[in-house]
Copies of this chain bind each other. A is one copy, B any other.
Amino acid sequence: MSANAQKLQKTYQSLCDYVQQTAMLSGVEELLQWDECTKMPPAAGPYRAEQVALVAGILHKRHTDSRLGEWLAELEDSPLAADPHSEFGTNIRLLARDYEKKTKLPQKLVEELSRTSVLAQQTWAEARKNDDFASFAPLLEKTFELKRQEAAALGFNATPYDPLLDDYEPGESTANVASVLGALREEIVPLVQEIIGSNHQPDRSVLEQDYEITQQEKLGRHVAEQIGYDFNAGRLDTTVHPFCCTPGAGDVRICTRYSIDNFENALFSTIHEVGHALYEQGLVREQHGLPTGTSVSLGIHESQSRMWENQVAFSRGFWKHFFPVTQEHFPTVLKNSSPEAFYAALNCVRPSLIRVDADEVTYNLHIFIRFEIEQALLEERLSIADLPEAWNAKYQEYLGLTPPSNAEGVMQDVHWGAGLVGYFPTYALGNLYAAQFYAKAEQDLGDLQAAFAEGEFGGLLGWLREHIHQPGQRYSPAELVERVTGEPLSHEPLLSQLRSKYGELYRL
């Protein structure tokens, strides 16, 4: 090896060591938050907030450390980075991209965004409780103004929404997302009307009973394990809002919640989080913390949770296999039910006002509304003052419902208050990716429903490991979709799956 090649190797190693150490501290931050949501005693709250802020500060310093810039400057145009999808090339390219984005933001703006987000979230919680949009409006106004400044600092051509979307879905453009989601919307809105107009409505009554919580928990663990979650490298706890987190390599934890009169919420939340966890558990361990050992994007992450939730767990094959064990857990409640009846009951489609309670068909409608509105707000085509009215009009247009209050309308989600603008479309993108990947997996693997009916989930997991998990960030979301499925992102696979499934269930 030449002296120069050796020097480059050494620089690359310094870069990776530093980044992997930073990831170790990010893991510490995740543990602090996991503990806060699951185990921390109540009196510890205020001190914990300071601890988290301290670690976040250390992390921010590390993310923008000038040594990173020096190492990357040396490596970016070097032979090591020549192949952009190789291990070296991927890590250099994406670390340079992150560093550039992070250092483009003025320190003052970062602090102002962080301060405003803390304040806006507190105000939002109070305002939602009191259905008082007016008290939340000034901070929402300020948030969107700061996000415009952020977009300006990052730079953009078409719309300030582009650089914000890019934070969550790297390389994706607003125009492309708008086109794909628009095409889906055109089809889903009438499909929902067909479904709710059908004379054949499934009987949900089996779900409207009490399901004992300790049994729910046992079943959830059993299902998680059966579909491939590794409890040796994870754990399942109870919390208020379900989530998945990664305190370190070999440590991917999930949290869910239980309610005696909502069987499906706990189980499908658990499976959703297992989907996220399987992605994290499938990343290459030695690359932990480097782009090659990191998930691609929020949308691709959501595709994993959504696929295990929707394509797998809401499917007929899944319940052929799991209904008997579910019946064993709830012998009285499920005495007179059957796999087919339970499957039909779980797959009721009902337009509703609250996103997080939505079924897999109407869910996307909630996202279209937010995506359209947040673009208009950011581009100043809509004012904060007119926001509630615009929100309600869209709910009427897409779902045929008008929120009785802003608490159940425009104030239902924490996202905007938390400064997350450009985040919502990743939920719908997750659904689209999931359907497209699943269709391809079925092409490759044969009848997946038959496999699920036999309790076989390893085939699908192995396929996801190989095609989605192991490459890490080697490809952008769009590249990955095209590489894996041979097609660019499209609304067709999702639409076709929904049409076929609900056409049959509702006899359309």
A residues contacting B by CB (< 8 A) are: 21, 24-25, 27-28, 31-32, 35, 39-48, 50-51, 54-55, 58, 230-235, 247-251, 253, 288
User: With the chains together, A189 CA to B32 CA distance in Å?
Assistant: 49
A249 partner residues in chain B, CB cutoff 8 A: 44, 46-47
Report yes or no: B288 in contact with A47, Cβ–Cβ below 8 A: yes
User: With the chains together, A41 CA to B235 CA distance in Å?
Assistant: 7
- Can you report 20 A-B residue pairs in the complex whose CB atoms are below 8 A from each other? A21-B54, A24-B54, A27-B51, A28-B28, A28-B51, A31-B32, A31-B35, A41-B250, A41-B253, A42-B232, A42-B233, A43-B230, A43-B232, A43-B250, A43-B251, A44-B248, A46-B249, A47-B248, A47-B249, A48-B251
Which partner residue on chain B sits nearest A249 by CB separation?
A: B47
Which partner residue on chain B sits nearest A45 by CB separation?
A: B250
A43 partner residues in chain B, CB cutoff 8 A: 230, 232-233, 250-251
Please tell me which one of the listed residues B28, B31, B39, B248 contacts residue A235 in the complex, with CB atoms under 8 A apart. B39
Report yes or no: A25 in contact with B54, Cβ–Cβ below 8 A: yes
Dominant SS among interface residues on chain A: helix
A235 partner residues in chain B, CB cutoff 8 A: 39, 41
Indicate the member of A45, A47, A249 with the most B CB atoms within 10 Å.
Answer: A47
Chain B proximity of A369: nearest CB distance (Å): 40
User: With the chains together, A232 CA to B42 CA distance in Å?
Assistant: 6
Report yes or no: A28 in contact with B47, Cβ–Cβ below 8 A: no
User: With the chains together, A35 CA to B250 CA distance in Å?
Assistant: 14
Chain B proximity of A29: nearest CB distance (Å): 9
Which partner residue on chain B sits nearest A281 by CB separation?
A: B43
Which partner residue on chain B sits nearest A237 by CB separation?
A: B39
Closest 8 pairs (CB-CB, A-B): A44-B251, A43-B250, A43-B233, A47-B248, A47-B249, A44-B250, A24-B51, A43-B232
A39 partner residues in chain B, CB cutoff 8 A: 39, 235
Chain B proximity of A252: nearest CB distance (Å): 8
User: With the chains together, A361 CA to B341 CA distance in Å?
Assistant: 69
A233 partner residues in chain B, CB cutoff 8 A: 41-44
Q: Beyond A24-B47, A24-B54: 9 further Cβ-contacts under 8 Å?
A: A25-B54, A28-B32, A31-B31, A31-B35, A35-B247, A41-B232, A41-B234, A43-B232, A48-B251
Which partner residue on chain B sits nearest A233 by CB separation?
A: B43
User: With the chains together, A54 CA to B248 CA distance in Å?
Assistant: 13
A253 partner residues in chain B, CB cutoff 8 A: 41
Report yes or no: B44 in contact with A24, Cβ–Cβ below 8 A: no
